[in-house]
């Protein structure tokens, strides 16, 4: 059984429109997850190690103030379009749209005030919580009134995140959750002792602004071949890598499948990622620099967490040969990702 409770978490600052932020606590016998109505943020996720000891395995803040300041999307749902859009520009039906540039020459994770920075309307479910918001036409430069629902449900060790959307005009959409994981427990200094595997035969090479070049490259014989588990620290060292921030191309099928697995041998904690999405961005916290004070006054240095963001391919709106990212009126965007926590 999953217990669900709601509690107050704070008020938004007046310049952000005020408004109550609530926290929803979902708890099973093996997982406890805390989710905010601000940005649908996963603020905490506690899971057992092989000795039955619970630890919080996601980065974040103890209070609302941390989340209202600038931070690297800890735990948030990002959109309308996750990841980068080159030069923040795209054309739909002959009309060009210009987005806010918040990542060098590109637009990242929805722009200046994306889905991560707004309050959502919650509805408690027997085993979780559903959030809704209407993103109005031309918000952050995107076309169409977009209705969006994000639903978190917990069953045993399995956390499901479902994304649904409907639009009044043709618009690009790609939603993901941007949780930063450290299976040793948040506040641990690095993820070098984590073993990672990703079920992908190809990946997207990027230019120096992290926009895909358009090539879909085979992982075979490269540092991107993660089809067998690698110990992250040794793998980065072996290939002289600064870290990963790349889209891995998943099988183009609509059905849910296992796409990634992370194991932390010292504690026995494992996390599997299953999804219906066509891509997964593997990011190793390369831009974390220890300047943010997180939960329990911990600082988060470089490589102190990893992200596995299930989503459409970056800049797909400008790359016709990438999976379709455009939602039409009358259609429904509907994707689910499952995070399965266990011990080995």
Does 235 show up as a binding residue in the annotation? no
Query: 83 labelled as ligand-binding?
Result: yes
Residue 192 marked in a binding site: no
Closest listed residue to residue 84, CA positions, set 240, 315, 331, 262: 315
140, 195, 272, 309: the catalytic one is 309
Binding residue per annotation — 179? yes
Report the C-alpha gap between 82 and 314 in whole angstroms.
8
46 given a catalytic annotation = no
For the CA atoms of 55, 60, 62, 66, the dihedral, rounded to the nearest 10 degrees, stands at: 170
Q: Is 315 annotated as a binding residue?
A: no
SS (H, E, C) 97-158: EECCCCECCEEECCCCCCHHHCECEEEEECCEEEEEEEECCCHHHCCCCEEEEEEEEEECCE
**SS3 assignment, position 254:** coil
Query: What's the full length of the chain, in residues?
Result: 344
Token output for 339 = 């995070």
178 as an active site residue: the answer is yes
283 is in an annotated binding site: no
Under 8 Å between Cβ of 313 and 262: no
Tokens representing residue 87 in the block: 């030069």
Q: 109, 178, 194, 303: which is the annotated catalytic residue?
A: 178
What residues form the annotated binding site?
83-84, 178-180, 245
User: Which residues are the active-site residues?
Assistant: 178, 309
Q: Which residues are annotated as a binding site for beta-D-galactose?
A: 83-84, 178-180, 245
């Amino acid at each position: 059984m999953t217990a669900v409770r709601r509690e107050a978490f704070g008020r938004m600052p007046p310049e952000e429109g005020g408004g109550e932020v609530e926290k929803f606590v979902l708890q099973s016998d093996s997982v406890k997850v805390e989710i905010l109505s601000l940005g649908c943020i996963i603020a905490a996720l506690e899971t057992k190690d092989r000795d039955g000891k619970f630890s919080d395995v996601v980065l974040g803040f103890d209070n609302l103030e941390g989340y209202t300041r600038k931070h690297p999307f800890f735990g948030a749902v990002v959109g309308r379009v996750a990841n980068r859009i080159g030069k923040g520009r795209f054309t739909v039906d002959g009309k060009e749209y210009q987005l806010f540039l918040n990542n060098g020459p590109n637009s990242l994770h929805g722009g200046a005030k994306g889905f991560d920075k707004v309050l959502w309307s919650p509805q408690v479910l027997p085993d979780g919580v559903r959030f809704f918001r209407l993103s109005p036409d031309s918000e952050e430069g995107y076309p169409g009134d977009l209705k969006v629902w994000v639903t978190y449900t917990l069953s045993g060790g399995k956390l499901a995140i479902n994304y649904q959307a409907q639009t009044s005009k043709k618009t690009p959409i790609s939603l993901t959750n941007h949780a930063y994981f450290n299976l040793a427990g948040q506040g641990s200094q690095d993820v070098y002792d984590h073993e990672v595997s990703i079920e992908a035969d190809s990946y997207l090479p990027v230019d120096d602004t992290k926009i895909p070049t358009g090539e879909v490259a085979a992982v075979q014989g490269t540092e991107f071949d993660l089809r067998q588990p690698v110990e992250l620290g040794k793998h980065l060292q072996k290939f002289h890598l600064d870290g990963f921030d790349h889209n891995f191309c998943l099988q183009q099928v609509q059905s849910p499948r296992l796409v990634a697995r992370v194991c932390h041998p010292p504690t026995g904690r494992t996390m599997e990622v299953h999804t219906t999405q066509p891509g997964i961005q593997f990011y190793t916290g390369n831009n974390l620099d220890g300047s943010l004070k997180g939960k329990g006054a911990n600082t988060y240095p470089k490589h102190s967490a990893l992200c596995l963001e299930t989503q459409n391919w970056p800049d797909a709106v400008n790359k016709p040969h990438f999976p379709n990212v455009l939602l039409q009126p009358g259609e429904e965007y509907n994707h689910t990702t499952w995070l399965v926590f266990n011990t080995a």
